[in-house]
Amino acid sequence: MSATKARSRPVPAARPEPSRRPTGPVRSDVWRSPLRGPWLTSFLGVLLVPAITVIALTGFISHWAYHPELAGNATIAPGFDIPVLFQFPQSWPSWDYAATQGTHITLGLMTVPLVLAKLWSVIPKLFKWPTVRNLAGMLERLSLLLLVGSVLVEFLTGIFAIEDYSPLGVNFYPVHYYGAWVFGTVFVLHACLKFPVVRRAYRERGALKPLRAGLRETQPEPPGSSELAPVNPADPTISRRGLLAMVGGASLTIFAVQAGQSIGGPFRRLAPMAPRGREFGTGPNDFQVNHTAASAQITPAMTGARWRVTVVGATSVALSRQRLLAMAQATETLTISCTEGWSTTQRWTGVRLVDLARLVGASPGAILRAVSLETVGVNSQASLAAEQWSDQRALLALRVNGAELSPDHGYPARVIVPGAPGLHNTKWVRELRFEAA
């Protein structure tokens, strides 16, 4: 926190002068914070490893939870993707995706202070002089540029996406997904290359020992040890544990103002900064939606008395809302969990998807393609795997919390399945097509 530029300060005479004497921020005595050094950077890096690992894993789990192998589900061109390695078993609770995606978003935001502190700790490296000595140094510089660029891109695109803000005019999925490939691979390389540095720093200074020093005992790391340690340290104004406490305090504050939207229920109101941390009323339909009927261009005429849902299997049938309501009704408590990280658990009533499958003689291994009245975009249709629609809890919902579905929640009928990303609970359904896998 003290990168004081000391222009008037003379360069210590003992230091060998490079032939072309650098000026400005490339002068090694410009970065004066006494906290910077290999130990601090190592400590921050070691904290980042588990955080980034969990964020990356939950991110890939979300990608695979879309069932990108099924028609129309892929958010990026499927020919250029790795195989699906994990999908939620239907035996897991219906809030499994809510838990992993809530973790992805909340932990991601909580890691912002840590990432910024890590970048602060290594800023002298950016201005290192001479810039590169050999090919190895050049490659490492290039990889660091990718590392910093991709971490900033991942966090910025993620943050903008959960706030429904898209000023960049780019498709979120490929930029965030392939950005994770860039960041993930360079991060692994960086962690491997820096492992000896961490080990040396921990051996020389103790893994936790520098945390015991209060402000008065805070000493700079020896300047010869690395480019990170200042050659010309200022007097400390904060201890290392003080800096880490500020970073941790920032992470905890972010958790406090954000996490309620992922936990849901009464906690939602306790998340004053979360994009979906609020309730708009106490009525049966007053919970969050991920896109409105108006934005989907659904008109009352489309959902009126002439609305039918066409169910196609071995045979085909067009069902009115009255016909659907006359069928056996089931009520299930299921969670909608948005990819944006918020979730909401409600009591849904409607016809079981397995009953509709039986009605049209669908084959047990079929894939269910649910098509919406909405004609464009990722919400216009979704394919559900056999194990998803044949889950006894999966419904074509007609009512929620004892009331008719509201237009924004998908009236006249919507799909609701446990443990899928929210947008696969297709709203304003016009067709359910059981197709051979």
Partner 1 sequence: MRRAWGLGRFRRRYGASPLHLAGHLVVFAIAAFAIDRIASGAGLAKLIVLYAGLVIAHDLIFLPAYSGLDRAARAALARLPAPQSARVPVINHVRAPALISGLLLIIYAPLISGKADAGYLQASGHHLEGYLRNWLMISVVLFLGSGLIYAVRVRRAVVNARV
Among 227, 332, 408, 431, binds partner 1 (CB under 8 A): 408
Minimum CB distance to partner 1 smaller for 117 or for 366: 117
Among 78, 86, 93, 166, binds partner 1 (CB under 8 A): 166
Q: Which stretch binds partner 1 (CB under 8 A): 203-211, 248-256, 364-372, 382-390?
A: 248-256
Among 54, 123, 359, 378, binds partner 1 (CB under 8 A): 123
Shortest separation between residue 335's beta carbon and partner 1, angstroms: 18
Strands 395-400 and 414-416: antiparallel
* String of DSSP letters for 396-436: EEEEETTEEPPGGGTTT-EEE-TTSBGGGS-SSEEEEEEE-
Kindly report the backbone phi and psi dihedral angles of residue 345, in degrees, each rounded to the nearest multiple of 5, phi listed first. -105, 125
Shortest separation between residue 201's beta carbon and partner 1, angstroms: 19
Distance CA 235, CA 192 (A): 33
* String of DSSP letters for 209-278: GGGG--TTT--PPPGGG-SSS-SSPPPPSS-HHHHHHHHHHHHHHHHHHHTHHHH-GGGGGG-TTSTT--
Q: Does the protein bind partner 1 through residue 7 (CB under 8 A)?
A: no
* Near partner 1 in 13-52, by CB under 8 A: none
Q: Does the protein bind partner 1 through residue 156 (CB under 8 A)?
A: yes
* Near partner 1 in 262-301, by CB under 8 A: 272-273, 275-276, 278, 280, 288-292, 294-295
Beta carbons within 10 angstroms of residue 163's beta carbon: 12
* Near partner 1 in 171-210, by CB under 8 A: 171, 174-175, 178-179, 181-182, 185-186, 188-189, 192-193
- Tell me the C-alpha to C-alpha distance, in Å, between residue 187 and each of 51, 53, 64: 12, 10, 22
Shortest separation between residue 126's beta carbon and partner 1, angstroms: 6
Q: Which stretch binds partner 1 (CB under 8 A): 16-24, 36-44, 64-72, 106-114?
A: 106-114
Minimum CB distance to partner 1 smaller for 199 or for 358: 199
DSSP for residue 2: -
* Near partner 1 in 74-103, by CB under 8 A: 76-77, 80
Q: Does the protein bind partner 1 through residue 133 (CB under 8 A)?
A: yes
Minimum CB distance to partner 1 smaller for 167 or for 402: 167
Cis upstream peptide for 167 (omega within 30°): no
Q: What own/partner pairs with CB < 8 Å and gap ≥ 24 does 83-90 have?
A: 85/60, 86/60, 86/61, 87/385, 88/61, 88/419, 89/387, 90/387, 90/388, 90/391, 90/418, 90/419
Minimum CB distance to partner 1 smaller for 71 or for 170: 170
Site string for partner 1, 209-238 (x = CB under 8 A): ------x---------------------xx
Shortest separation between residue 281's beta carbon and partner 1, angstroms: 11
Size of the site for partner 1 (CB under 8 A): 80
Q: Which amino acid is at 65?
A: A
| Total residues found in the chain within this entry | 437
Q: Does the protein bind partner 1 through residue 3 (CB under 8 A)?
A: yes
- Residue 216's Cα: distance from chain center in Å? 40
Shortest separation between residue 416's beta carbon and partner 1, angstroms: 19
* String of DSSP letters for 194-218: HHHHHHHHHHHH-SSGGGG--TTT-
Among 18, 50, 249, 361, binds partner 1 (CB under 8 A): 249
